[in-house]
């Protein structure tokens, strides 16, 4: 594994170790609106600090919370906590998202981690997407799940007309609330759908892990699926509504 990914893995393990203790009260404290447009909580800023300590010597870090934090020819895009509201609600679908972009603008490495389950997904220019768990150092290719019964529709609550249309077409889905994680799971579900504006922090690492899948990205939505027919059917449904 590349040194950058090893350092990212260590940062995730440090954050997870901190989770084993009772949440300090300040982790719940709401702060100012971060660079990504959401209000940062103490947990977001705690995780950001850990990533900065582990990764700042690799290049310029751009975080959803604090924006650009230092200088460098390469760029590291991080969402310190993907699914912050889930984390603070003790709902087991939250994690971290990190992407490394070289000086030529090419994404070379990416890692997404589910801190609730210890699952880690990563990809590098020298490797296909890999899957494992924190603290185990055992990796295997992310295989496609051919028995999936559901997709993922992030931000479904904001688009009831699309929800109804999917229901009318017998398309089942869940809406767990952490886009980078959902993209990391794209090989294990029927599809991942996101409608509305999205930011680089949300998708940089997650989309990198979708290499080889059917990916449709438009201004107002993004669809990822292991099956081209599914992706096109969902696109047709969305275009009939938006």
Q: Indicate the burial class of 19 (C-beta count within 10 angstroms; 0-12, 13-18, 19 or more).
A: middle
Give SS3 for 155: coil
**47-55: average pLDDT:** 93
- What are 172-200's pLDDT values in tens digits? 999 999 999 999 999 999 999 999 988 88
Report DSSP letters for 69-120, one per residue. -S--SSEEEEEEEETHHHHHTT-S--EEEEEEE-TTS-EEEEEEEETTTTEE
Domains annotated on the chain, with CATH: 3-141 (3.30.540.10), 151-239 (3.40.190.80)
- What are 225-235's pLDDT values in tens digits? 999 999 999 99
Across the strands, what pairs with 173? 151
pLDDT at 36 over 80: no
Tokens for 158, please give them: 């904001």
pTM of the full predicted structure? 0.89
Rounded to 5°, the CA angle 10-12-15 comes to 110
Longest alpha-carbon distance in the chain: 51
- What are 69-111's pLDDT values in tens digits? 788 889 999 999 888 888 878 889 999 999 999 989 999 999 9
């Amino acid at each position: 594994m590349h040194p950058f990914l090893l350092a990212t893995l260590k940062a995730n393990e440090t954050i997870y170790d901190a989770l084993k203790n009772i949440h300090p009260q300040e982790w719940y404290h709401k702060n100012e609106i971060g660079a990504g447009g959401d209000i940062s909580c103490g947990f977001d800023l705690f995780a950001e600090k850990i990533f900065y300590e582990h990764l700042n010597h690799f290049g310029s870090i751009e975080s959803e919370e604090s924006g650009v934090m230092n200088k460098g020819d390469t760029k590291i895009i991080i969402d310190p906590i993907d699914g912050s509201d889930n984390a603070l609600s003790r709902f087991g679908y939250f994690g971290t998202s990190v992407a490394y972009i070289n000086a030529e603008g090419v994404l070379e490495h990416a890692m997404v981690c589910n801190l609730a389950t210890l699952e880690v997904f990563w990809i590098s220019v020298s490797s296909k997407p890999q899957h494992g768990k924190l603290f185990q150092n055992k990796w295997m290719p992310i295989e496609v799940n051919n028995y999936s019964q559901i997709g993922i529709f992030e931000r479904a609550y904001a688009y009831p007309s699309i929800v109804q249309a999917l229901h009318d077409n017998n398309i089942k889905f869940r809406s767990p609330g952490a886009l980078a994680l959902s993209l990391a799971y794209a090989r294990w579900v029927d599809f991942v759908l996101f409608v509305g504006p999205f930011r680089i922090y949300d998708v940089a690492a997650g989309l990198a892990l979708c290499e080889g899948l059917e990916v449709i990205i438009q201004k107002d939505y993004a669809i990822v699926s292991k099956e081209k027919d599914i992706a096109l059917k969902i696109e047709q449904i969305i275009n009939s509504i938006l």
